[in-house]
């Protein structure tokens, strides 16, 4: 077995393990596979040279991201003039870039351990530290395919409102590493097995705890999924039809307290539709005691462009998106990225970021936390003002990725925010997945994908804070840093003795 893993077959198996890793996430949802994939990855790195371990890590990462973010290809060929060859090349390049991060994990793992009986702890810490760096810092953060998202429906989801995505991920990485420890260290096999069982059991116990309470009467909400094809969305000749469609679907649900439209549901600047469309719509909404949450691009007097959410109703207000999407709302790596996108005739907006300390929006007498598109992938952003909020609202346009697995992955990520914060989540998208998620992260209503639809339900305003909403990510990251620091110091002293 050892000889096989050190051969080229070990490299092949690493790619396969990476693919199995991705199958743990939506829409596949084989959640148990992530443990075996990570366990194999750890086993395959034992006694490798640093150079070979880095290659092994890259191949494992390419298996993960080659399947897991292959949807980036779909976003580039929405424009039929883009062709096939260049989008495919850029997709491979994009997947390869993110595959570097498991390679970094492999490098750190083979360099740091000081004890065969403790290196499972180093492996776990390294994996989550690199997840954190990738998810929060690189290109503004890309938290896709982080291991905790695969466990939203498992006993381990009990850790999520306590420790968040990274803390839960650390527990999972420990379980995966301990699976290999059971094989390698026969003397303490029963101890490791007991540790694994205990971690699952504690998660199940925590899952039964209610961290928050209902605050106020139910609120009736209607979520409108317009299903406007991305290639048609911004065509000027389609604008009036789009505006009429959203108006008609809203009028049919005036009995709701709140009506929500998806990201950039209005394909026009605020000033261009303010007098003829928005203000009359607002007056009608007020007459029916309804608030409308919509989304459109907003340009200020200085000419800065914002992706925004607008509340129409008794308390009109606007939220400007803070966390912009790289290669979607701004272009890193200019001028190369701009040149390549120009070859595919892809034109993107040059958006500005909104202020971090924007006040919460309010509808039906309740404040709520707003996120636009992939802002819902960042746990700490969602909990910053959650104490004053009674629910979460996310508006998204995943129409760029129709026919791919991205909308399902994104829905899974959004569910995490509901569970972390202990708040209902109202998620409205252009083409799917639109859903109402309760404070336990469970989907209670969902619209069919790629269909024009409206879903209506009563939601419960929630108050109180989960442990994660109080502490955020810092304690887990500090714990990981302490583990790795101790490992580094231990390695130094061992070398000194030699």
Which active-site residues does the annotation give? Answer: 263, 321, 373
On whether the CB atoms of residues 455 and 434 are closer than 8 A, the answer is yes
Cis peptide upstream of residue 433 (ω within 30 degrees of 0): yes
Question: How far is the CA of 258 from the CAs of 117, 223, 414, in angstroms?
Answer: 56, 9, 20
Whole-angstrom distance, CA of residue 428 vs CA of residue 426:
6
Radius of gyration of the chain (CA): 24
Nearest to 461 by CA among 364, 371, 377: 364
Residue 151 near residue 165, CB atoms below 8 Å = no
CA 171 – CA 177 distance, rounded (Å): 10
Return the structure tokens found at 358: 């924007």
Q: Is 407 exposed, middle or buried (0-12, 13-18, 19+ CB in 10 A)?
A: buried
Which pair of tokens denotes residue 319?
Answer: 């939220």
Distance of CA 496 to the CA centre of its chain: 44
**Residue 364 token pair:** 């039906």
Judged by DSSP in three states, 292 sits in: strand
Give the H or E element holding residue 8.
helix 8-22
DSSP 237-271: GGHHHHHHHHHHHHHTTTTSSEEE--TT-S-S-HH
Cis status, amide bond into 335, omega within 30 of 0: yes
CA distance 151 to 89: 33
Site of tokens 């914060």:
421
Q: Is 23 helix (H, G, I), strand (E, B) or coil?
A: coil
3-class SS at 324? Answer: coil
- Copy the structure tokens of residue 220: 């009736």
Write the DSSP symbol of residue 344. Answer: T
Dist CA 346 CA 366 (whole Å): 40
Task: State how far the Cα of 158 lies from the Cα of 198, in Å rounded to an integer.
Answer: 13
SS3 179: helix
Length of the chain equals: 498
Is there a contact between 171 and 151 (Cβ–Cβ < 8 Å)?
no
């Amino acid at each position: 077995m050892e000889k096989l893993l050190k051969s080229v077959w070990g490299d092949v198996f690493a790619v396969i393990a990476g693919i199995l890793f991705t199958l743990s996430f939506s829409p596949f949802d084989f959640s148990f596979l992530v443990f075996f994939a990570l366990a194999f990855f750890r086993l395959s790195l034992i006694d490798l040279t640093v150079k070979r371990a880095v290659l092994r890590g890259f191949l494992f990462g390419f298996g993960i991201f080659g399947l897991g973010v292959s949807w980036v290809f779909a976003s580039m060929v929405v424009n039929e003039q883009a062709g096939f060859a260049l989008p495919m090349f850029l997709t491979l390049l994009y997947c390869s870039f993110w595959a570097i991060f498991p390679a970094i994990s492999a490098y750190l793992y083979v360099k740091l351990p000081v004890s065969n009986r403790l290196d499972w702890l180093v492996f776990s810490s390294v994996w989550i530290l690199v997840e954190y760096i990738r998810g929060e810092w690189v290109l503004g953060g890309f938290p896709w395919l982080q291991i905790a998202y695969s466990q939203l429906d498992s006993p381990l989801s009990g850790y999520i409102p306590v420790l968040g995505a990274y803390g839960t991920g650390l527990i999972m990485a420990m379980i995966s590493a301990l699976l290999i420890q059971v094989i390698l260290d026969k003397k303490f096999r029963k101890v490791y097995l007991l540790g694994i069982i205990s971690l699952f059991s504690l998660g199940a116990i925590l899952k039964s705890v209610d961290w928050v309470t209902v605050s106020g009467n139910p609120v009736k909400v209607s979520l409108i999924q317009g299903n406007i094809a991305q290639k048609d969305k911004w065509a000027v000749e389609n604008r009036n039809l789009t505006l009429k469609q959203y108006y008609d679907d809203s009028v049919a649900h005036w009995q709701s307290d709140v009506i929500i439209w998806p990201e950039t549901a209005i394909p026009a600047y605020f000033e261009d539709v303010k007098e003829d469309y928005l203000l009359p719509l607002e007056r009608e909404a007020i007459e029916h005691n309804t608030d409308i949450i919509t989304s459109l691009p907003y340009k200020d007097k200085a000419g800065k462009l914002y992706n925004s959410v607008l509340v129409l109703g008794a308390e009109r207000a606007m939220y400007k998106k803070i966390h912009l999407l790289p290669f979607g709302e701004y272009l890193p790596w200019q001028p190369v990225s701009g040149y390549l996108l120009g070859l595919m005739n892809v034109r993107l907006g040059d958006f500005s970021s909104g202020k971090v300390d924007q006040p919460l929006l309010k509808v039906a007498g309740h404040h709520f936390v707003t996120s636009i598109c992939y802002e819902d992938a960042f746990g700490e952003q969602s909990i910053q003002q959650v104490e004053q909020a009674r629910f979460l609202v996310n508006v998204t346009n995943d129409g760029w990725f129709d026919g791919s697995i991205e909308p399902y992955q994104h829905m899974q990520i959004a569910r995490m925010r509901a569970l972390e914060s202990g708040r209902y989540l109202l998620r409205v998208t252009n083409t799917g997945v639109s859903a109402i998620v309760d404070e336990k992260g469970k989907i209670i209503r969902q619209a069919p994908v790629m269909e024009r639809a409206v879903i209506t339900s009563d939601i419960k305003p929630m108050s109180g804070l989960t442990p994660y909403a109080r502490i955020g990510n810092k304690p887990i990251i500090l714990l990981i840093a302490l583990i790795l620091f101790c490992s580094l110091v231990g390695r130094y002293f061992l070398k000194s003795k030699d």
